[in-house]
């Protein structure tokens, strides 16, 4: 049995001696012969939060097989905990969350699974979440959690599947079935190309094209395959000849979804990439007349909230859910990024601070909301359901989604770190699992901590935790995505200025 100590927990693993169907009892001692039972389980791993025992602990564990009413000691291990500094906490959260995209990815394709536990519809893999997973793989290679060779091999598996999966004028569908690799409908008519999810995929691919810049045959092949996939994406076709880009097209239902992408939301990256394409690029008109047109009520904001003026976003919900400040900015660097509509660093900082201020205001009196418990974004509701949590009536249900504050780390580092410490040290026993923080926590639903947490993981929530924390720590993903010459030309075409010129 191995035991690794962290700040407030110990991770124990006895996979090498695990017997299927056996029942195990884990006991701990802080010294002497006093042993306390920590848990009984039929699993081969346990995360034991030990802050109830103190801090900076020296612990001895014993594992017993207690199957069929009998008791037999089968293993023991020692571990030490210590108080982590902020950088160590960030590294820990990133590494745990990285497991979602490395260990839990679909083995056959390399794609990220949509969620854990799997959907009732089966083993579903997701294109947008896989794009965020690419950012996690790059981060893992840079931080040494995996080797560069391992990362390249995983990426080559992914690009192979990206070529083989059915595409729709170069775009991927939102979901595919892992076993058959066939398109799976996201909603009734959504069984074809999805430009937004495909943009998240392309953002990851272009970041990888710049990061994996080595001379080895494998890295050269990877860059070649990414370029072929990128240049096959028909952004211009998805305009239907109009001055706007459409979200969906299906070979079975055509343009039935009829969803033009306009108004400020998570899809800024769609227009940036559409303008950047060297083969199927759009002019600047869809961006200025479709996405940002004067007749689009959800684009310009300019309202004051809690003493802050917000340039862009939905007025009713004070800018909307926080993933608007995350998804397009996994690679797109908002530092110094500006066009005629907004300074995007200012936009994202203010959006985050307004979301936080709303939670502190707490107009509906939800339990726990405060300086170390805030963040409304899309995610699972507690106890059930899914929604785009945001400020305001019908969008605020008392559920805090950890990815909201954690992925906002570049914009509000001190405020976000308070949330991280609270969620980990005070709620981690229920909220922190094998792949990091679970998706949602709501202290108002019950006095029982075990009922306050939705113990699920979602790819689109896990990915920004790894990538945006890394952008806060090193600017890694921003640096490489902004280095791409196609992207630079596209930004220039749309009238963006980038004041912090990237190397």
Fold classification of 2-83 (topology level): Immunoglobulin-like (2.60.40)
CATH of domain 87-495: 1.50.10.140
Pick from 41, 50, 57: nearest CA to 1: 41
Pick from 85, 106, 87, 7: nearest CA to 432: 7
For residue 74, which phi and psi values (nearest 5 degrees)?
-120, -15
The mean pLDDT values, 10 residues at a time, for the chain of 503 residues are 98 97 97 93 98 97 95 97 98 98 97 92 94 98 98 98 98 96 94 98 98 98 98 98 98 96 98 98 98 94 97 97 98 97 98 98 98 98 97 96 98 98 98 98 98 98 98 98 98 91 41
Q: How far apart are CA 229 and CA 278, in angstroms?
A: 12
Q: Hey, which residues does 116 pair with through a beta bridge?
A: 457
* First-to-final CA distance of the chain: 47
**In the chain, where does the domain assigned CATH 2.60.40.10 lie?**
2-83
**In the chain, where does the domain assigned CATH 1.50.10.140 lie?**
87-495
Residue 273 DSSP SS3: helix
Q: Which pTM was predicted? A: 0.97
Reported as half-sphere exposure (CB side, CA atoms, 13 A), residue 434 has a value of 14
pLDDT given for residue 291 in this prediction = 98
Six-digit token pair at 53? 């025992």
pLDDT given for residue 502 in this prediction = 42
Q: How far apart are CA 214 and CA 206, in angstroms?
A: 15
For residue 441, which phi and psi values (nearest 5 degrees)?
-140, 135
* 29, 36 Cβ separation under 8 angstroms: yes
* 104, 116 Cβ separation under 8 angstroms: yes
């Amino acid at each position: 049995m191995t035991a690794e100590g962290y700040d407030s927990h110990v991770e124990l693993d006895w996979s090498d001696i695990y017997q299927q169907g056996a029942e195990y009892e884990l006991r701990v001692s802080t010294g002497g012969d006093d042993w306390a039972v920590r848990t009984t389980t039929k699993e081969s791993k346990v995360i034991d939060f030990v802050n109830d025992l103190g801090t900076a602990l020296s612990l001895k564990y014993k594992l017993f097989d207690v199957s069929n009413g009998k008791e037999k000691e089968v293993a023991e291990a020692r571990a030490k905990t210590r108080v982590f500094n902020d950088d160590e906490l960030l590294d820990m959260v990133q590494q745990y969350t990285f497991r979602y995209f490395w260990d839990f990815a679909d083995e056959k394709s390399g794609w990220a699974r949509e969620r854990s536990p799997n959907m009732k519809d089966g083993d579903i893999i997701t294109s947008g979440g896989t794009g965020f997973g690419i950012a996690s793989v790059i981060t893992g290679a840079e931080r040494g959690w995996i080797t560069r060779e391992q990362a390249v091999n995983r990426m080559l598996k992914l690009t192979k599947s990206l070529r083989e999966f059915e595409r729709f004028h170069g775009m991927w569908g939102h979901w595919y079935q892992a076993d058959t690799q066939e398109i799976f409908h996201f909603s009734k008519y959504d069984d074809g190309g999805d430009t937004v999810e495909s943009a998240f995929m392309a953002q990851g691919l272009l970041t990888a094209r710049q990061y994996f810049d080595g001379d080895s045959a494998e890295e050269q092949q990877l860059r070649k395959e990414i370029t072929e996939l990128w240049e096959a994406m028909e952004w211009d076709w998805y305009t239907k000849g109009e001055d706007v880009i459409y979200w969906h097209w299906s070979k079975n239902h055509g343009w039935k979804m009829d969803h033009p992408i306009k108004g400020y939301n998570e899809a800024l990256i769609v227009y940036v990439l559409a303008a950047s394409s060297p083969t199927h690029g759009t002019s600047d008109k869809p961006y200025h007349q479709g996405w940002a047109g004067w007749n689009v009520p959800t684009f310009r904001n300019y309202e004051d909230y809690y003493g802050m003026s917000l340039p862009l976003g939905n007025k009713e919900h004070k800018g909307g859910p926080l993933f608007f400040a995350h998804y397009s900015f996994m690679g797109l660097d908002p530092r110094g990024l500006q066009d005629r509509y907004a300074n995007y660093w200012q936009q994202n900082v203010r959006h985050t601070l307004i979301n936080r201020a709303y939670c502190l205001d707490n107009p509906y009196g939800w339990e726990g909301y405060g300086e170390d418990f805030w963040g409304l974004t899309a995610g699972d509701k507690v106890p059930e359901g899914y929604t785009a949590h945001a400020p305001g009536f019908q969008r605020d249900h008392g559920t805090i989604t950890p990815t909201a504050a954690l992925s906002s780390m570049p914009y509000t580092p001190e405020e976000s770190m308070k949330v991280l410490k609270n969620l980990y040290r005070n709620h981690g026993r229920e909220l922190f699992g094998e792949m990091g923080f679970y998706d949602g926590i709501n202290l108002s639903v019950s006095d029982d901590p075990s009922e306050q947490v939705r113990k699920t993981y979602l790819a689109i929530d896990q990915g920004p935790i790894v990538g945006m924390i890394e952008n806060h720590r090193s600017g890694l993903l921003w640096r490489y995505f902004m280095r791409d010459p196609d992207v630079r030309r596209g930004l220039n075409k749309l009238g963006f200025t980038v004041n912090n010129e990237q190397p």
